[in-house]
Amino acid sequence: MTSAPKTFHIKSFGCQMNVYDGERMAELLSDTGLAPAGRGEDADLVVLNTCHIREKASEKAYSDVGRLRRDDGSRPMIALAGCVAQAEGAEAQVRSKMIDIVVGPQAYHRLPELVAEASRGRRPIDTGLPGLAKFGAFPGRRRAAPSAFLTVQEGCDKFCTYCVVPYTRGAEISRPWGDVIAEAHALVDGGAREIVLLGQNVNAWRDGNRGLADLIAKLSHIDGLERIRYTTSHPADMTDALIAAHGEIDKLMPYLHLPVQSGSDRILRAMNRSHSTDSYVRTIEQVRAARPDIAISGDFIVGFPGETEEDFLATLEIVDEVQYAAAYSFKYSARPGTPAAAMDAQVEPEIMDDRLRRLHDRIAKHQLAFNRSSVGKDTRVLIERKGRQLGQMIGRSPWMQSVHLETSAAPGDMIDLTLVSAGPNSMSGAARAAKAA
């Protein structure tokens, strides 16, 4: 593959930060004159923006590379980006001869140069971790979805014993105050009505003595910006100011994603989580005191090494205690190079399957109860996209629920409605007539 590509396609996997990175790579490549291709099959350059968090996600990257070979034996130029690229480096090109470029999550601002090198027949690799350099290299934001992501913090210093993020994304860094505000303005000018502030530990964001609560307060004054969210937070970084912000800033939505991972203190210590179940539950109580209707969501890992049935029952207990409005649960996946991968007492896959199923069921019960408790509420949704049926649109409630409704409204509109029915994963709404002034 030696000719310079004219079209590109980016496929992002994994977390919202990868979605954000994918958007920025697309802007960068468009600015250098490449045109977006709707499908990978048609593109001259395919960027696979990968996830390394669990083994399955990581292996998927390689099977996707293989699938890019066309029936006539030709293939596009292939760039392996994201966390698998960072973790595997040169090894990726040994595993697959089809990978032309390897570029880590902190180096993708160099993608145009790397593409030029690959067009000259080289196989360039950049897995440097230069911190904030990439943000300064991007073109300005021009178009944005009604709900737009904005990365404000990257990396992690927490070193949970199961997690690859501190190795693939590097040390915790925060983007400067002024840069974030400028990008938020550009997103709103480009059509965003909601901004979701992103970071692996977004609530660790700092600039001097200003923290995330100050940033949210400042952003809330942007005209045309209706809603602010932030994710993902670490329990140890939930400051009093951020908790108070939930009661004080109307544009800050009543939703908090606060992963606990396990309900067993013994397991939390082995995970190096730096919080206990008690401190976690106390934080949730404080958040609820500030904003009583807040929807709480979380992440859980089942089958961490040494997890007993008793530990797992403690996880079910904390699910009952917190009554999550939503939550994500994962089977523990041993990641090369992490301390947990070398721990004794790895849990059998069948036991993990069983625990995952029981945890799903318990979370689903609370999610449905939360959705049912919302029926009858008058609220506003942000219309995000078309639904499956003619005339149907899908919006997002303040509590992050998907809401289906019949309306002639378009993506980006805010619609007043009543929530009329609840399912396990979504709600239905009926639009209310706008009140005369």
Residues interacting with ligand SAM, by CB under 6 A? 15, 53-54, 162-163, 165, 200-201, 232, 234, 259, 261, 299, 301, 330, 332-333, 335
328 belongs to the binding site for ligand SF4 (CB under 6 A): no
Q: How far apart are CA 32 and CA 178, in angstroms?
A: 26
Strand partners, 154: 173
Q: 54 is in the binding site of which of ligand SF4, ligand SAM, none (Cβ under 5 to 8 A by kind)?
A: ligand SAM
Q: Give Cβ neighbours of residue 389 (< 8 Å, ≥ 6 apart).
A: none
Query: Is 142 in contact with 188 (CB distance < 8 Å)?
Result: no
Using the minimum distance from each CB to ligand SAM, give the nearer residue, 276 or 426.
276
Rounded to an integer, what distance in angstroms lies between the CA atom of residue 184 and that of residue 60?
33
Contact partner at residue 193 from ligand SF4, ligand SAM, none, CB < 5 to 8 Å by partner kind: none
Task: Name which position in 61, 85, 150, 156 contacts ligand SF4 (CB under 6 A).
Answer: 156
Cβ distance to ligand SF4 smaller for residue 158 or 360: 158
State which of positions 215-244 bind ligand SF4 (CB under 6 A).
234
Largest CA distance in the chain: 68
CA distance 109 to 343: 37
Q: Does 148 sit near ligand SF4 (CB under 6 A)?
A: no
Q: How far is the CB of 155 from ligand SF4 (least distance, A)?
A: 9
What is the C-alpha separation between 380 and 171, in angstroms, rounded?
39
CB 244 within 8 A of CB 213: yes
Half-sphere exposure of 389 (CA within 13 A, CB side): 5
In terms of CB distance, is 188 or 318 closer to ligand SF4?
318
Choosing among ligand SF4, ligand SAM, none, which partner's interface includes residue 262 (Cβ < 5 to 8 Å by kind)? none
159 binds ligand SF4 (CB under 6 A): yes
Provide the 10 A C-beta neighbour count for residue 329.
Answer: 20
Size of the site for ligand SF4 (CB under 6 A): 10
Pairing of strands 7-12, 35-36: parallel
Identify which of residues 92 and 160 has a Cβ nearer to ligand SAM in the complex: 160
Distance CA 99, CA 236 (A): 40
b/e string for 358-384 if b means 16 or more Cβ within 10 A? bbeebbeebbeebbeebeebebbbbbb
- Of these, 61, 99, 129, 163, which contacts ligand SF4 (CB under 6 A)? 163
Strands 125-126 and 147-151: unpaired
45 binds, among ligand SAM, ligand SF4, none (CB under 5 to 8 A by kind): none
Binding segment toward ligand SF4, per CB under 6 A, in 83-91, 157-165, 306-314, 427-435: 157-165
Taking the least distance from each CB to ligand SAM, the nearer of 62 and 162 is 162
Q: For ligand SF4, which residue of 49, 174, 200, 333 counts as binding (CB under 6 A)? A: 200
315 lies in the binding site for ligand SF4 (CB under 6 A): no
Question: Which residue's CB is nearer to ligand SAM, number 108 or number 330?
Answer: 330
DSSP H helices, 32-190, are: 55-67, 82-88, 90-95, 111-119, 133-137, 165-168, 177-189
CB of 164 to ligand SF4, least distance (A): 8
Which of 16, 74, 82 minimizes the C-alpha distance to 48?
82
Q: Which of the choices ligand SAM, ligand SF4, none does residue 159 contact, using the CB cut-off of 5 to 8 A by kind?
A: ligand SF4
Question: Among 165, 195, 318, 359, which residue sits at the site for ligand SF4 (rule: CB under 6 A)?
Answer: 165
Judged by CB under 6 A, which stretch of 86-94, 155-163, 181-189, 375-383 contacts ligand SF4?
155-163
Q: How far is the CB of 108 from ligand SAM (least distance, A)?
A: 18
- Per CB under 6 A, 166 contacts ligand SF4: yes
Which residue is listed with tokens 């952003």? 219
Query: Cα–Cα distance between 337 and 83 in angstroms, integer?
Result: 14
Q: Are 219 and 181 a contacting pair, CB within 8 Å?
A: yes
Token pair 């996946």 is found at 333
CB of 236 to ligand SF4, least distance (A): 9
Return the one option of ligand SF4, ligand SAM, none that residue 146 interacts with (CB less than 5 to 8 A, by type): none
Q: Considering the rule CB under 6 A, would residue 49 count as an interface residue with ligand SF4?
A: no
Residue 324 beta carbon to ligand SF4: minimum distance, rounded to whole angstroms: 18
Smallest separation (angstroms) from ligand SAM to the CB of 216: 19
Which tokens go with 44? Answer: 């001259």
196 φ/ψ angles, rounded to the nearest 5 degrees: -110, 110
